Amino acid sequence: MDNNYFVKHIRLVANESSSKALKEFGKEGYDISGGNPTISYHENIGTPSLSVFVRDIVDVDQFVSKFGITGGEYLTLKVQVSKQAADEGQKDFEITTDHNLILNQVFDISTTSLKQKFSLEFVSAEGMVNETARLSKRFDGNIADIVKDILTKDKRGIQTKKKLKEDRSLNKYTFVGNLKRPFDTISWLSPKASSDKEDCGFLFYENLDGYYFKSIKKLLEIKPKFTYKRLDKTVYEADTFSILDSKVSRTNDIGLNLRMGTYASRTIYINLEKGERTVVDYKISDNTGIKNPPKLPEKLDEHPSRLMLRLIDPGAMQKGSKRNGEQKDSELAKYQNKSYARNNLLNSYTMNIMVSFNTDLRIGDMIEIKLPYKSDEKNTKSGKNDFSDVSGKYLVSKLMHTINFERSSSTHLEIIRDTFSAK
């Protein structure tokens, strides 16, 4: 683990409703780095929000009580990396007011006559906006354009100023907001988007660089950003790109996949206007986008394990007093079953690793890991490959930086492997 870094500042910046005493510190904010607190920064590919915990802050001024700190204040943070890390291309880890991280809660407060000790949790302000925003208008067009509209344009949406990087979807979609939350709506849209006719599914997430609406297929096709190796202890302690610890946390859960309809499902479409019913059966063996589909005993992968009912609402396709064309059943949910299977199988092999503090890592990055065979097993191999079968390309799905003033820093990753869809 790396301890060649320097925490330059951790500051609270006043918002509109903050006390006059805190506002007097201006845009620079009030320094809360007293007592050498522990910082943990979190990204999660399943959650469109960042979070930061600053734990065990010690303050002799007891400013939480004095300034009336209850929530809503902004966080600024800067960690200067070591010279070695800078020479390798890493940048300082920095959170500014542009990241829009606000104080969500103050907890673990203990007060004495000499000092006050407490912890703070910060989250993306857009997550708070999401709780009050409700979509009401009709949306139509490419799903990537709809996501951009919800995040940046719609007055009833998020209206964030953060960057959005999106992949275009192959298909279009039409629906009415129905007073749903923006993030819930985007999560609902993600499995309906497809990058091609066979390989379906999108992910929506936030990392330090902004928001992403990305095709799973395209994420898995990118080249690894870093290669990490697990070597002998005496070697990897000084190596920036060595795996300090690793553990497989989850493998394929057949029971859960059956419940989710990963292998086979049946969807029943009801057209309310025409009174017609359409039945669509899905089998994973027919999905050519998955190169190595799993095979189950007793032909469990051939029988539908999930039934879904969808109502086709022609009102969503109406613009003004006229019908805006006819939208087929396949246009409403053509890719959803394939996307469910894609997402479930993508998470079928999960590993947790710890590496040296690396400010350039993000969720959504592809990395390559190399884990060695045991010495006796290695000797049975041809010598062309010294690394085990679990080595290979992995997608970063969760990330946590831990930073401590007096001890050390590290980066903890949850990584997922495309076991069944790899060529």
Q: What is the pLDDT of residues 212-234, one digit of tens each?
A: 999 988 898 899 999 999 875 55
Distances (CA, A) of 97 to 29, 209, 353: 11, 13, 31
**pLDDT at position 122:** 97
Distances (CA, A) of 55 to 39, 77, 183, 402, 405: 6, 14, 29, 11, 12
Per-residue pLDDT band at 394 (split at 50, 70, 90): very high
What average pLDDT score do residues 134-144 get? Answer: 93
pLDDT at 165 over 70: yes
Cα separation of 323 and 346, whole Å?
39
**pLDDT at position 314:** 63
The amino acid that residue 115 corresponds to is K
> Which among 398, 404, 400, 373 has a CA at the least distance from the CA of 386?
373
pLDDT at 381 over 70: no
**pLDDT at position 398:** 96
Structure token pair of residue 166: 């999106």
Angle at 32 between CA 27 and CA 33, to 5 degrees: 120
| Percent above pLDDT 70 for the chain | 83
Cα separation of 143 and 319, whole Å?
18
Structure token pair of residue 152: 């940046």
- pLDDT tens sequence across 246-290: 888 877 778 877 887 778 888 888 877 778 888 888 887 777 666
pLDDT at 358 over 80: yes
Compute the half-sphere exposure of residue 389: CA atoms within 13 Å on the CB side of its CA: 4
pLDDT at 184 over 90: yes
Average pLDDT, the chain: 83
Residue 65 or residue 140, greater confidence: 140
pLDDT at 384 over 70: no
Residue 84 or residue 235, greater confidence: 84
Residue 373 or residue 366, greater confidence: 366
Segment among 79-83, 292-296, 297-301, 382-386 with least mean pLDDT: 382-386
pLDDT at 141 over 60: yes
Per-residue pLDDT band at 40 (split at 50, 70, 90): very high
| Percent above pLDDT 90 for the chain | 37
**pLDDT at position 119:** 92
Report DSSP state, residue 149.
I
- CB burial string 133-161: b at 16+ within 10 A, e below: bebeeebbebbbbbbbbbbbebeebbebe
Structure token pair of residue 396: 């970063």
Angle at 226 between CA 51 and CA 381, to 5 degrees: 125
pLDDT at 422 over 50: no
**pLDDT at position 168:** 93
- Give DSSP secondary structure letters for 14-56: --TTS-HHHHTTGGG-EE--TT--EEEEEEETTEEEEEEEEEE
Cα separation of 113 and 285, whole Å?
69
Per-residue pLDDT band at 423 (split at 50, 70, 90): very low
Residues 103, 69: contact at Cβ < 8 Å? yes
User: Which helix (DSSP H) or strand (DSSP E) does residue 343 occupy?
Assistant: helix 336-346
Cα separation of 351 and 395, whole Å?
10
pLDDT at 236 over 50: no
**pLDDT at position 159:** 96
- Give DSSP secondary structure letters for 155-208: TTS----S-EEEPPPSSEEEEE-TTB-HHHHHHHHGGG-BSSSSSB-EEEEEET
Residues written for the chain: 423
Segment among 70-79, 176-185, 351-360, 377-386 with least mean pLDDT: 377-386
